[in-house]
Amino acid sequence: MSEFVNLSREERALYNPAFTAVLTARTVQGHRTQFGQPCPVALAVLGAVMALQPAVRDRLPRNTNAGVSRWVEENRTVKVAMTQNATALAAVVRPGLLFALQTTLLSCTDQGLLNLPTGRLKKVITGPTEEVVAIQKAAHMLGRWLPSTGSMSTVMTLLGVRP
C-alpha cells in the first residue's frame, strides 16, 4: 500500500497512523513490563502487524509461559496469515511508528531502541469498541511474549517474515 490518501475509506478508518502509533507503543509498553529494557524497532512493528490480524490475534496463548516456536508449530494458519498480510500491514504500521516518534509518544535511544516515556500511555487499555481493545491487548501481550524465545531474528524466521 502506498500513500494514506490512496487507501480506501475502510482502510483509512482501520489503519490510520494514530491507531497504529498506539499499537507500536503498546508493544513497547508490554516489552518494558516484561524485560525492563528498551524495545527493538522490529519488534514494535511486528507486534502491531500481528495484533492487527484477527487470524493471529484470536490464536494467541492466554499467558506468556507458552513457547513461541511450539505455538507457531501448532497454529500453522498464523504463518500463512503472516505471509499473506505482513507486507501490506507493515506498510501501514511504519507511518504509525514515525508518528509516534514525532509526537514523542515513543522515544529512540542512541542504539536505535524504543522507549516509552513515563506518563505517555496509560496502562489500562480502553477503547470505543471491543475490537479496538482486543487489538491493543494483543500488541501489549506480543511485546511481553515474543522475545521470550530468543533473538528477534529467530522469532521472525519462525513466522516466515523479515524486517
Partner 1 sequence: MAEKADPFEASASAIGYVYQLRKALHLCVERHGQGIDWSVAIEAGDDIEEVHKDSTVYYQLKHRAPGVSLTDASTDLWKTLRIWAHAIAGHQLDLEETDLVLMTTAELPSGSAASLLQPVVAGCRDEAGALKALTEARKASTNKDLKKAFASFDTLTEEQRQGMVSRIQVLGRAPDVEAVGDLLLERAVTAVGHAYAQPFLIRLEGWFFQRTIRQLRARDVDAISGNEFDQVFTDYRNQFRPENLPIDEDIADLEPNLATYSDHAFVRQLNLLNISAPRVGKAVRDYMRAFTQRSRWSDENLLLPGEISRFERRLVEEWGELFDEMREELGDEAAEVAKVAAARDIYRWAMSQVQRRIRPDCDEPFVVKGSFHMLADDHRVGWHIDFTTRLMSMLEPTEATTP
Nearest approach in angstroms of CB 93 to partner 1 is: 10
Euclidean distance between the first and the last CA atom of the chain, given in angstroms as a whole number: 17
Among 60, 78, 89, 161, binds partner 1 (CB under 8 A): 89
Nearest approach in angstroms of CB 138 to partner 1 is: 14
Comparing CB distances to partner 1, the nearer of 56 and 121 is 56
Q: Is 115 one of the binding residues for partner 1 (CB under 8 A)?
A: no
Rounded alpha-carbon distances, angstroms, from residue 58 to 70, 71, 77:
16, 13, 11
Binding mask 30-69 toward partner 1 (x if CB under 8 A, else -) reads ----------------------xxxx--------------
Contact 121, 105 (CB under 8 A): yes
Closest CA to 26 of 132, 102, 128: 132
Angle at 56 between CA 58 and CA 139, to 5 degrees: 85
Enumerate binding residues for partner 1 (CB under 8 A).
1, 6-11, 13-15, 52-55, 77, 84-85, 88-89, 91-92
